[in-house]
Amino acid sequence: MRQRIKTKIRKHLGWTRLLGAICDSDKGVRSLSLAGHVGFDSLPDQLVNKSICQGFCFNILCIGETGIGKSTLMDTLFNTNFENFESSHFEPQVKLRAQTYDLQESNVRLRLTVVNTVGFGDQMNKQESYQPVVDYIDRQFESYLQEELKIKRSLHNYHDSRVHACLYFISPSGHSLKSLDLVTMKKLDSKVNIIPVIAKADTISKSELHKFKIKIMSELVSNGVQIYQFPLDDETVAKVNTTMNGHLPFAVVGSTEEVAVGNKMVKARQYPWGVVQVENENHCDFVKLREMLICVNMEDLREQTHTRHYELYRRCKLEELGFKDTDSECKPVSLQQTYEAKRQEFLVELQKREDEMRQMFVQRVKEKEAELKDAERELQGRFEQLKRLHAEEKAALEEKKRLLDEDQSSFGKRKAAAQLLQAQSLTANGKKDKDRKK
């Protein structure tokens, strides 16, 4: 591990020195030979020591159907027992479960995050099964971008949660890829390093497995899916990576159980017809996957994630916000100029919206005033109508009162006359009675 880091750093420093020499030659700076040992050739060792002290992080995303062997393969890859949770086939939607572990091998510390897709491909409608995975990857990119854009950044202490490698588990059907596999990998190939693996490869024969690999690669090429290719620019690993690129997708078998084979115990799967050894390259490609993923290309996966996938996300995000490197005349534009231009554009747009809102407010006020005036006229008309009706009813009531008073007065006169006649009649009758008595 230490030697590989040194090799990569020396290669990087070699290119840096070459570019520096070219630039210096363009500036007219002379190249001098040293008369003795100075000591700056220990810079790679300093970088290695610093990297070992800081530790490393690596994040793996495992995509595959429930029960296809994702957790078992992770346990086998890192020779440990991670916390595994049983998942049912009745999840209403796809969920992503991320678990972080601190591992140490020799004096190298690794913070490993394993992201598992729970319920992937178990729904009746699989059309949107890939969307939670895409959203999760974008969230990690967005989190890193927000940390970069802070005034006080702490990237050296920041836990990088961006997905560095995606192990896509293909069901060992022996026929072709499912439409869900093609759609998902097509959606993810620009966001993450996809390494396709054929899970439970011991369930099909070698001849079928060979044809299945050819079929898978043909379908990926015909559908334009870009999977991760092991790099060939490093001379130390170019030969082995070229060979391993021809073995994609890796046919793997995972097992943490140890079985006695001869005089030694090996990780294997015991069947009635024989034993499938996990670390036997004649039985499966597990060793190839472990070597390529962990021992040889782990740093390249981390670098590809940062320089390719994250940069693509960052560029698209900044372009959505209106930031560009050049203006309409293809002249370079600084970030400050772009910010000022966007600020002025925003202020103009804000002023425009404010004017529109003011005009809309004035229009609404005028409409409301017109409605109120109409309502006032309507109420005034109703008031006049009610006033007129009230006057008419009052006049009718007064007329009825006058007639009633006249009737009452006439009735009183008739009553008085009747009482007078009755009194006179009584008086006359009294006189007649007196006369009779006499």
Partners of 56 in beta bridges:
110
Return the half-sphere exposure (C-beta side, CA atoms, 13 A cut-off) of residue 304.
21
pTM over 0.75: no
pLDDT tens by residue, 41-58: 888 888 888 888 888 899
Residue 166 has pLDDT above 90, yes or no: yes
The mean of the pLDDT values for the chain is: 84
Q: With beta carbons less than 8 A apart as the criterion, state whether 139 and 157 touch.
A: no
| pLDDT at residue 89, rounded to an integer | 65
| pLDDT at residue 61, rounded to an integer | 93
Distance between CA atoms of 335 and 322, rounded to whole angstroms? 11
pLDDT tens by residue, 201-227: 888 888 888 899 999 999 999 999 999
- The SS3 of residue 233 is coil
Q: Cα torsion for 416, 419, 425, 426, to the nearest 10°?
A: -140
DSSP annotation of 206: H
pLDDT tens by residue, 412-431: 888 888 888 888 888 887 77
Q: With beta carbons less than 8 A apart as the criterion, state whether 145 and 313 touch.
A: yes
Tokens read off for 165: 């490698």
Mean pLDDT of 166-174: 88
Residue written as tokens 């078992």?
A: 72
Mean pLDDT of 26-37: 74
Mean pLDDT of 127-137: 87
- End-to-end, the C-alpha distance of the chain in Å comes to 168
Residues 6+ apart with CB under 8 A from 160: 57, 59, 144
Q: With beta carbons less than 8 A apart as the criterion, state whether 181 and 68 touch.
A: no
Tokens read off for 48: 């290695």
Burial of residue 113, with CB atoms counted within 10 A of its CB: 0-12 exposed, 13-18 middle, 19 or more buried: buried
pLDDT tens by residue, 281-336: 888 888 899 999 888 899 999 999 999 999 999 988 888 877 777 766 677 767 67
Kindly indicate the confidence band of residue 353, based on its pLDDT and cuts at 50, 70 and 90.
very high
| pLDDT at residue 333, rounded to an integer | 67
User: 330 vs 266, which has greater pLDDT?
Assistant: 266
Kindly give the pairing relationship between strand 194-198 and strand 108-118: unpaired
Residue 115 has pLDDT above 70, yes or no: yes
Q: With beta carbons less than 8 A apart as the criterion, state whether 114 and 60 touch.
A: yes
Kindly give the pairing relationship between strand 250-251 and strand 194-198: parallel
Q: With beta carbons less than 8 A apart as the criterion, state whether 158 and 173 touch.
A: no
| pLDDT at residue 197, rounded to an integer | 92
Residue written as tokens 């869900």?
A: 180
| pLDDT at residue 372, rounded to an integer | 93
